[in-house]
Amino acid sequence: MKISVTVNGTRYERDVEPRTLLVHFLREDLGLTGTHVGCDTSYCGACTVLVDGRSVKSCTFLAVAADGAEITTVEGLAADGELHPVQEGFWERHGLQCGFCTPGMIMSSVALLEENPSPSEAEIRHALEGNLCRCTGYHNIVLAVQYAAAKLRGEQPPPADWEEVGA
């Protein structure tokens, strides 16, 4: 089937099999391998992308269902080499270790902050319930999103809590 999608601002016309999953289309056809596959069953969230601004687990979303849509992947967030505030937050607040869950975490966080610019910690955790991480213990991921939220609101991000650490 022919589909037409805009991915990270570029329009693509492609012929895809009806069974092709969006994540495979992005990775194999467009070479956008920043979107990862962690579980195949829409449980881990590593494959999260934005479809028309809404976060979607692209491992259980057909490419043909994205026909006509605007898709944003992790590769499309940085503008002219400048990191998106959410990317900056994960960088600055050490919100990653192995990094495999990170693109999905970032995309879910972007979707959250577009809906809710001032989320509480509980709201951040609720929004990221569909994204698993095995390395960080999530603590720094929450700090990363809080950092990004402040940045996006034009405020100074809260200081890191490293000072509290240590004895």
Partner 1 sequence: MSLGISIVRDDARAKVTGAARYPGDRVGPDLLHAVVVFSGRPHARMVSMDVRPAFAVPGVVEVVTAGDIPVNEYGLTMFDQPVLVGVDGTGRARVASDVSRWEADQIAVVVAETPEAAAAGAVALDVDWEDLPVVADLEAALTDEVLVHPEAGTNRYVHHRIRKGSPEAGWAAADVVVEGTYRLPHQEHAYLQPEAAVAYLDDDDRITVEIAGQWTHEDREQIAHALDLPPERIRVRYPAIGGAFGGREDMSLQIVMAAAVRKLAARGIRRPVRCVWSREESIVGHHKRHRGIVHARWGATREGVVVVAEVDAYLDAGAYNYTTNKVLGNLHLTVAGPYEIPNLRVDSWGVYTNAVPGGAFRGFGAPQGAFVAENQMNRLAEALGIDPVELRRRNVIQEGSVGPTQVPFPAGVSMPAVIDACAEAAERPVAVPPPAIPFASLPADESRLRRGRGFACAFKNVGFSFGFPERCEATIELHGDDEVERVVLHHAGADVGQGAHTAFRQMAAEAVGVPLERVEAVWSDTAVTGDSGSASASRLTFMAGNAILGAAEEAEKRWRDGDRPAIGEFRYVPPPTEPFDPDTGRGDVNFAYGYVAEAVEVTVDVGTGHVHVDRVVCAVDVGRAINPRLVEGQVHGAIVQAHGYALTERLVVEGATIRNPRLSQYLIPGIGDVPAHVEAVIVEHPDPVGPWGARGMAEMPFIPYAPAVVAAIHDATGVWFDEIPLTPDRVLAGLRRAGVAQ
Q: Which residues bind partner 1 (CB under 8 A)?
A: 27-28, 31-41, 43-44, 46, 73-75, 77-78, 83, 87-88, 90-92, 94, 96-103, 106, 121-122, 125-126, 128-129, 131-142, 162, 164-167
Asked whether 50 and 79 are in contact (CB, 8 A), the reply is: no
Q: Minimum distance between the CB of residue 121 and partner 1, rounded to whole angstroms?
A: 6
CB-wise, 68 or 82, nearer to partner 1? 82
CB of 76 to partner 1, least distance (A): 9
| Distances in whole angstroms, Cα of residue 6 to Cα of each of 11, 67, 69, 147 | 4, 9, 6, 29
Local structure of residue 28 (DSSP, 8 states) = I
Q: Which is nearer to partner 1, 14 or 94 (CB)?
A: 94
**Cα dihedral 43/38/40/66 (nearest 10):** 90
Amino acid at 11: R
Residue 155: HSE in the Cβ half-sphere, 13 Å Cα cutoff: 11
CB of 92 to partner 1, least distance (A): 7
Structure tokens at 2: 């022919």
Q: How far is the CB of 60 from partner 1 (least distance, A)?
A: 12
Q: Which is nearer to partner 1, 67 or 88 (CB)?
A: 88
Q: Name the residue nearer to partner 1 (CB basis): 14 or 138.
A: 138
